[in-house]
Structure 1
Amino acid sequence: MANLTRPTPSHPHSDIELRWPASVLWRDGDPAVRSITTADVWQSLREGIDDFRAMPTHVVFACIIYPVVGIILARLIFGYELLHLIYPMAAGFALLGPFIAIGLYELSRRREQGLDVSPARALDVLHRPGIDSIFTLGAFLALLFVGWLYVANMMYTQIIGGTPTSLSDFVNQVMTTDKGRQLMFAGNLVGFLFALFVLAISVVSFPLLVDRDVGVGAAIRTSVRATLENPIPVALWGLIVAVGLVLGALPFLFGLAIVLPILGHATWHLYRKLVVTSP
Structure 2
Amino acid sequence: MAKTIGNPLTWGTRVVQEAGAEARLVAREIAGVETTPPDVRRLTVDDLRQALRHGLADFAALRTDVMMACILYPIIGAILVWMALNRGLIPLIFPLISGFALIGPAAAVGLYQMSREREAGRKAGWSDALKVLASPRIGAILALGLWHLAIFFAWILAAYGIFLATMGPDVPRGLGPFLNEVLTTPQGWAMIAIGIPVGFIFALIVLATSVVSFPMLIDRPVGLTVAVLTSVRVARRNPVEIALWGLMVTALLVIGSLPFLLGLIAVLPILGHATWHLYRRAVEPPSNWPS
Q: Same fold (TM over 0.5)?
A: yes
1:220 to 218, 221, 228: 228
Identical residues among aligned pairs (%): 44
Choose 162-171 or 217-226, whichever is displaced more.
162-171
1:104-183 map, 5 Å: 104-162=111-169, 163-183=171-191
CA distance in 1, matches of 2:146, 2:73: 19
Is 2:54 the counterpart of 1:40? no
Residues 82-127 of structure 1 show CA distances to partners (whole Å, capped at 9, x for unaligned) of 1100101111110101000000000000011122301111111111
CA distance in 1, matches of 2:187, 2:177: 14
Choose 174-183 or 156-165, whichever is displaced more.
156-165
Superposed CA RMSD in Å reads 1.5
Partner of 1:18: none
Choose 203-212 or 160-169, whichever is displaced more.
160-169
Relative to total residues, which structure has the larger helix share, 1 or 2? 2
Q: Please give the TM-score of this superposition, normalised by the length of structure 1.
A: 0.86
Q: CA deviation at 1:74?
A: 5.1
Does the CA-based 8 Å contact 2:108-2:272 persist in structure 1? yes
Partner of 2:59: 52
Q: Which amino acid aligns with 2:134?
A: H
CA distance in 2, matches of 1:74, 1:202: 29
1:180-259 map, 5 Å: 180-259=188-267
Q: CA deviation at 1:277?
A: 2.9
Of structures 1 and 2, the larger Rg is shown by 2
Q: Which consecutive unaligned segments of at least 5 residues does structure 1 have?
A: 1-26
Choose 27-36 or 207-216, whichever is displaced more.
27-36
* TM superposition outliers: structure 1 runs of 4+ over 3 Å: none
CA distance in 2, matches of 1:205, 1:240: 19
1:66 to 62, 72, 75: 75
Q: CA deviation at 1:278?
A: 4.3
Q: CA deviation at 1:48?
A: 0.2
CA distance in 2, matches of 1:100, 1:65: 12
Give the aligned length: 251
Q: Call closer, same or farther: CA 1:28–1:62 in 2, change over 3 Å.
A: closer
Q: CA deviation at 1:66?
A: 2.5
Does the CA-based 8 Å contact 2:67-2:266 persist in structure 1? yes
CA distance in 2, matches of 1:102, 1:217: 18
CA distance in 2, matches of 1:207, 1:111: 14
- Secondary structure of 2:177's counterpart equals helix
CA distance in 2, matches of 1:100, 1:187: 25
2:91 to 81, 84, 97: 84
- Secondary structure of 2:41's counterpart equals coil
